[in-house]
């Protein structure tokens, strides 16, 4: 990096090296499910329940071995600290029925993570199952359906604790259920009361070690087949989380398109010690597009940095695109998250908020715009180099080569 770049930032009171060091420790949870279109290893066929992948790009990972190989290539292109986010439908050892899957079914992930010094997060999988009955799981009117998924939730607590204890890195278990209704409900309360009761039973079902893991709940405004009503709305989970001392997870693709998710962070962190994210990119009515370095993402990163969220939040990625090279998709989104955080760390927030408090809104606007043309790209290149990861054009060449040498031969 040129000395001029360091000097430019120091004029604004920003220490470029301190920013890079800070970013190095921010763990980004990399989702395993981008690499095989959320299929998992249970071979149940097409996805159901509000989750859909579109596209037919060559080279999808078909098993754990292929997925690990792809993940290694992706991780090699993503600088800084990382975790792997695992879904329960990715059982690696002696797979069993979903509700019975427990510690023994996920040993492969622990071996993988330990070899690479990575943390792990976990998600029970409440979709892609014959026990998703009429788009309902934990809120189903059928007791046997609820009981099935409650058991899955309890076992998932055990798996998450096992991940945390084995890796020595705090883990997050995140609950998202696809439960909802296609058309206007006759009764909005009963499904929510049942969801509340089922979640209570999961949390009471295993006394997990709170010092090594957290549990989060993730809302969604609507989904395919549940256009009119989701049982787990934002209000439902925000209240549930605060009342039960667990975390609320904000998926940035799960709100109304004009709703500013970044704006929620300052409020949430005033009332919660911690917060969790699925960073995603909504496009019109659909979430889960690969992250672009756009204003929405920058807004989230800015708020995380300003509100001290980097030390308090779990940051996970959540997108799945089957229409482009899946490894590249994973890398592009992850690097964009990190670029946004770096830009946020290179921003003189104290100066900006001082100007705001001085009621000098002209200065705020001028400074916000002035910062946009600073040479942050050079700092990003230096950050990649510092982490032994290739810069912009070069990483893509590696992924292209991998596509030509490995992915294309998979014949799918
Ligand atoms: C779905 C939710 C959920 C999933 C993953 C695979 O809309 O965002 O988080 O994307 O669990
Ligand atoms: Zn999500």
3-state secondary structure the chain: CCHHHHHHHHHCCCCHHHHHHHHHCCCEEEEHHHHCCCCCCCCCCCCCCCCCCCCCCCCCCCCHHHHHHHHHHHHCCCCCCEEEEEECCCCCCCCCCHHHCCHHHHHHHHHHHHHHCCEEEEECCCCCCCCCECCECCCCCCHHHHHHHHHHHHHHHHHHHHHHHHHCCCEEEEECCCCEECCCCCCCHHHHHHHHHHHHHHHHHCCCCCCCEEEEEECCCCECCECCEECCCHHHHHHHHHHHCCEEEEECCCCCCCCCCHHHHHHHHHHCCCEEEEECEEECCEEEECCCCCHHHHHHHHHHHHCCHHHCEEEEECCCCCCCCHHHHHHHHHHHHHHHHHHHHCCCHHHHHHHHHCCCHHHHHHHHHHHCCCCHHHHHHHHHHHCCCCCHHHHHHHHHHHHHHCHHHHCC
Active site residue 254: yes
Active site residue 318: yes
Test site for ligand 1: of 85, 248, 288, most ligand atoms within 8 A of the Cβ:
288
Residue 106 Cα to ligand 1 midpoint, Å, equals 20
pLDDT bucket at 43, cuts 50 / 70 / 90: confident
User: Whose atoms come closest to the Cα of 173: which ligand?
Assistant: 1
Test site for ligand 1: of 31, 36, 51, 330, most ligand atoms within 8 A of the Cβ:
51
Q: How far apart are CA 412 and CA 141, in angstroms?
A: 40
Residue 118 has a pLDDT of 98
Task: Please determine, for residue 48, whether its predicted confidence score (pLDDT) is greater than 80.
Answer: no
Provide the mean pLDDT of the chain.
96
Name the catalytic one among 70, 161, 179, 288: 288
Contacts of 299 (CB under 8 A, 6+ apart): 260, 262, 263
CATH architecture of the domain 26-347 equals Alpha-Beta Barrel (3.20)
pLDDT in tens, 144-168: 999 999 999 999 999 999 999 999 9
Residue 65 has a pLDDT of 98
Name the catalytic one among 15, 147, 227, 286: 286
Q: How far apart are CA 11 and CA 345, in angstroms?
A: 15
Active site residue 343: no
Active site residue 220: yes
Give the number of other Cβ atoms within 10 Å of residue 209's Cβ: 11
Do 217 and 240 form a contact (C-beta atoms < 8 A)? yes
Tokens of 223: 């989904």
Higher pLDDT, 52 or 102: 102
Do 103 and 154 form a contact (C-beta atoms < 8 A)? no
Q: How far apart are CA 265 and CA 262, in angstroms?
A: 6
Name the catalytic one among 27, 31, 60, 254: 254
Any idea which residue has 């049982």 for tokens?
231
Active site residue 165: no
Cα separation of the two ends of the chain: 42
- Nearest-CA residue for ligand 1 atom 7 is 51
pLDDT in tens, 235-267: 999 999 999 999 999 999 999 989 999 999 999
Residue 15 Cα to ligand 1 midpoint, Å, equals 37
Task: Please determine, for residue 288, whether its predicted confidence score (pLDDT) is greater than 90.
Answer: no
Q: How far apart are CA 159 and CA 98, in angstroms?
A: 13
Task: Please determine, for residue 391, whether its predicted confidence score (pLDDT) is greater than 80.
Answer: yes
Q: How far apart are CA 383 and CA 389, in angstroms?
A: 9
Residue 360 Cα to ligand 1 midpoint, Å, equals 42
Residue 224 has a pLDDT of 84
- Nearest-CA residue for ligand 1 atom 5 is 318
Give the number of other Cβ atoms within 10 Å of residue 10's Cβ: 11
φ/ψ of residue 276, rounded to 5: -125, 155
Residue 45 has a pLDDT of 67
- Nearest-CA residue for ligand 1 atom 10 is 318
Each domain of the chain, given as residue ranges in start order, spans: 26-347
Name the catalytic one among 60, 68, 196, 220: 220
Active site residue 358: no
Active site residue 152: no
Active site residue 285: no
φ/ψ of residue 30, rounded to 5: -90, 120
pLDDT bucket at 412, cuts 50 / 70 / 90: confident
**Residues with Cβ within 6 A of ligand 1?**
33, 38, 50-51, 87, 123, 176, 218, 220, 251, 278, 287-288, 318
pLDDT in tens, 312-345: 999 999 999 999 999 999 999 999 999 999 999 9
């Amino acid at each position: 990096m040129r000395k001029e770049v360091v000097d430019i930032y120091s004029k604004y009171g920003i220490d470029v090296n301190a920013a890079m060091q800070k970013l190095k420790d921010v763990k980004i949870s990399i989702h395993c499910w981008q690499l095989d279109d959320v299929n998992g290893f249970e071979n149940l066929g097409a996805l159901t329940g509000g989750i859909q992948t579109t596209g037919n790009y060559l080279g999808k990972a078909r098993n754990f071995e292929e997925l690990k190989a792809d993940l290694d290539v992706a991780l090699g292109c993503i600088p800084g600290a990382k975790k792997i986010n695992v879904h329960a439908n990715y059982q690696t050892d002696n797979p069993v029925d979903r509700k019975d899957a427990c510690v023994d079914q996920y040993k492969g992930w622990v071996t993988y993570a330990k070899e690479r010094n990575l943390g792990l997060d976990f998600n029970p999988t409440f979709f892609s199952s014959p026990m998703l009955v009429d788009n309902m799981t934990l809120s189903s009117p059928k007791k046997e359906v609820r009981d099935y998924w409650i058991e899955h939730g309890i076992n998932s607590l055990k798996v998450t604790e096992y991940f945390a204890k084995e890796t020595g890195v705090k883990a997050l278990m995140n609950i998202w259920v696809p439960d909802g209704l296609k058309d206007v409900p006759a009764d909005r309360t009963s499904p929510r009361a049942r969801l509340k009761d089922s979640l209570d039973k999961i949390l009471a079902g295993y006394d997990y070690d709170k010092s090594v893991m957290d549990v989060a709940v993730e809302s969604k405004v609507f989904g395919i087949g549940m256009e009119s009503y989701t049982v787990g709305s934002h209000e439902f989970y925000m209240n549930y989380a605060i009342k039960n001392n667990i975390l609320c997870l904000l998926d940035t693709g799960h709100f109304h398109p004009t709703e500013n998710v970044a704006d929620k962070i300052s409020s949430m962190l005033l009332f919660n010690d911690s917060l969790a994210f699925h960073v995603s990119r909504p496009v019109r009515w659909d979430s889960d597009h690969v992250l672009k370095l756009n204003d929405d993402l920058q807004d989230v990163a800015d708020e995380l940095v300003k509100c001290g969220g980097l030390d308090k939040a779990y940051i996970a990625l959540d997108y799945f695109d089957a229409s482009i090279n899946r490894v590249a998709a994973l890398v592009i989104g992850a690097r964009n998250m990190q670029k946004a955080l770096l830009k946020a760390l290179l921003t003189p927030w104290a100066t900006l908020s001082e100007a705001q408090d001085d009621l000098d809104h002209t200065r705020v606007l001028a400074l916000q715009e002035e910062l946009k043309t600073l040479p942050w790209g050079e700092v990003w290149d230096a950050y990649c180099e510092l982490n032994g990861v290739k810069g912009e054009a070069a990483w893509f060449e590696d992924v292209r080569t991998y596509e030509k040498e490995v992915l294309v031969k998979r014949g799918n």
